[in-house]
Amino acid sequence: MVRLRAPRHPVDPRARAWWTARALLTVSGPAALAAATLLTLCFLFFPGAASWLVPLVTAVLVAPAVAYAVVMPARRCRTHGWELGESALYAVSGWYGRRRRIVPLDRVESVALRRGPLLRRYGLAVVVVGMGPDAEAVRITGVSEPEARRLRAGIEGAVAASAAETAASRTEGGRGAGILAVGRAGWLRYAPLTFWVWGGVLVAGGTTWRVLNAFGVKPWRIGIVRRLWAGYGAGAPWLAALLGLAAVTLLGVAGALAVHAATWWRYRLERTPSGGLDVRRGLFATSVVSIDADRLCGVALREPLLLRAGGGASVRAVAGGLGDRERNRKRSVALPPAPRAEALRVCAEVLGTDGVLEAGALRPAPRVALRRRLVWALGWGVLPVALVLVALGWLLELPVLLWCAAGWVAVASPMVCALARDAYRALGYAVRGRHLVVRSGTFGRETVALERSSVQGWTFTDTPFASRADVVTVTAIVAAGEGGYRIRDMSATEAVQFAEYAAPGIVREFLIQTSA
């Protein structure tokens, strides 16, 4: 079996004292101060509450604060490490979970040292390795200042040598200029297939309510509101609720159609002569978003739950140079909600290869991933509400709340289990030609196809629970889109080999062969 070995350089021994001091200043100290304040007020003004407040404060504030100050520094000292290889930088971090990150030196754009007052007190520094504005920087902490300076010099020297030897280039052969897609009026039917149909109306209603209050107008005193309440609300509250829901839905649908028409009317997707993309859209004013060919790393086929149920999908370009993360999400849309077949065709046109995102044999996640999602769904989606209802029923002596808890469990459990199974079935990954394909999500399902040559590094993330299940989350780092795309719950025995196969050479020098 092939796996990643530990990096050769651990952190400086003084890092443990630095992490302890930081824990006392940021988490444990404030928690202990809050506990002392509560207990002091209790003994001064409410001595009768000490019998239950002292154990509660100890369990909620004191014990976690002490555990964090003791466990976190020790775990970080055992986990953190780094190594500067011949062609890549390898860094490990984390304390509860572990992140192992490997980035090629030819993708590094900047190296900087960070030394705050607390770091200077312990003679330490943080090395920050940047890979451009669209990718998350690598932070190597717990390094002594002399070692940090040597590491920075080594990275800068390796980057300069790599830049002198190789020049990164990408070709876009066979992609001629032309129109790839044109909007159609029939696509308007997909505009309401979003949860914002209701959320947008509630936001607009809340804003209107605040504006009226600011002018001294009480909305519930308006004549039409009072007449509607007198006619329906007072005598038939359930009918009023249904009518209100219907009104909100109709307003939301009308608003979604209007916004979609204003935003995407006269939509056109074009391939430029240089191989990039131009997205033109707008009813009242034409907006043009240009995506350079050198910044285009792939596409993302997005299928949110309601849109997927209606047979639609949208497409985003995985590209850099479009602004920060939020602006990138808005400007990278290459196709608005449209029929799924049209979305697949546009993806094929953008990628220059047919069949990359077609329904096919993506490698599924191991079976244990289903168990993890079922446990998470029941533990966080069903159990907390049931426990609250049971506790209230017991404290208030209201048996009806116990029946409500039982009803909640009976109704919610099948629903969340169905969603968990759908989330498991969505997991998949594959290498298809020159593209890495990753799929995940149930409420917001997304299938991403990345150019394998655009992968700038790998991050392997696990937690104690994931380690027991023998799975790991692998993130392909790219200087575009979200900055990284996760392959969730991949088998730990296959993760490293798959990363080496998908983007050869990045992790190779940090691998070791072990017995199964």
Query: 99 and 72: one domain?
Result: no
CA distance 213 to 203: 15
Indicate the burial class of 286 (C-beta count within 10 angstroms; 0-12, 13-18, 19 or more): exposed
DSSP string, 215-280: TT--GGGSHHHHHHIIIIITT-HHHHHHHHHHHHHHHHHHHHHHHHHHHHTT-EEEE-TTS-EEEE
Query: 62 and 113: one domain?
Result: no
* 398 inside domain: yes
Give me the pLDDT at residue 23, please. Answer: 94
- The residue segments making up the domain with residue 131 are 81-165
CA distance 431 to 424: 20
Query: 10 and 49: one domain?
Result: yes
CA distance 429 to 401: 45
* 450 inside domain: no
Q: What would the two tokens of residue 342 be?
A: 């049209």
- pLDDT tens-place string over residues 110-129: 899 999 899 999 999 999 99
191 closest CA partner among 265, 139, 137: 265
Neighbouring residues of 279: CB distance < 8 A, sequence distance ≥ 6: 267, 268, 269, 288, 289, 291, 333, 334
Q: What is the amino acid identity at position 188?
A: L
- pLDDT tens-place string over residues 207-240: 777 777 777 777 666 666 666 666 655 556 666 6
- pLDDT tens-place string over residues 441-471: 999 999 999 999 999 999 999 999 999 999 9
Q: Are 39 and 52 in contact (CB under 8 A)?
A: no
3-state secondary structure of 80: coil
CA distance 172 to 189: 35
* 381 inside domain: yes
Q: At what angle do helices 63-79 and 15-23 cross, to 10 degrees?
A: 150
155 closest CA partner among 127, 135, 133: 127
* 449 inside domain: no
Q: What would the two tokens of residue 185 be?
A: 């009026």
Neighbouring residues of 284: CB distance < 8 A, sequence distance ≥ 6: 262
Neighbouring residues of 33: CB distance < 8 A, sequence distance ≥ 6: none
What's the CATH code of the domain at 101?
2.30.29.30
Q: Are 215 and 304 in contact (CB under 8 A)?
A: no
Residue 484 DSSP code = E
* 145 inside domain: yes
Domain C-terminal end among 34, 60, 79:
79
Give me the pLDDT at residue 230, please. Answer: 64
Query: 151 and 218: one domain?
Result: no
pTM, 2 dp: 0.84
Give me the pLDDT at residue 167, please. Answer: 44
- pLDDT tens-place string over residues 135-151: 788 999 999 999 999 99
As a whole number of Å, the CA-based R_g of the chain is 28
* 403 inside domain: yes
- pLDDT tens-place string over residues 349-404: 999 888 788 766 789 999 999 999 999 999 999 999 999 999 888 888 888 889 99
Q: What would the two tokens of residue 142 be?
A: 């717990």
Domain C-terminal end among 424, 451, 468:
424
Tell me the pLDDT band of 34, cut-offs 50, 70 and 90: very high
333 closest CA partner among 487, 203, 201, 183: 183
* 336 inside domain: no
Tell me the pLDDT band of 171, cut-offs 50, 70 and 90: very low
Query: 90 and 157: one domain?
Result: yes
* 95 inside domain: yes
Query: 105 and 59: one domain?
Result: no
Give me the pLDDT at residue 121, please. Answer: 92
- pLDDT tens-place string over residues 496-510: 999 999 999 899 889
Please tell me the total count of domains within the chain: 4
Query: 59 and 104: one domain?
Result: no
Query: 49 and 105: one domain?
Result: no
Domain C-terminal end among 119, 137, 165:
165
**What pairs with residue 512 in β-bridges?**
3
| pLDDT(174) > 80 | no
Query: 58 and 99: one domain?
Result: no
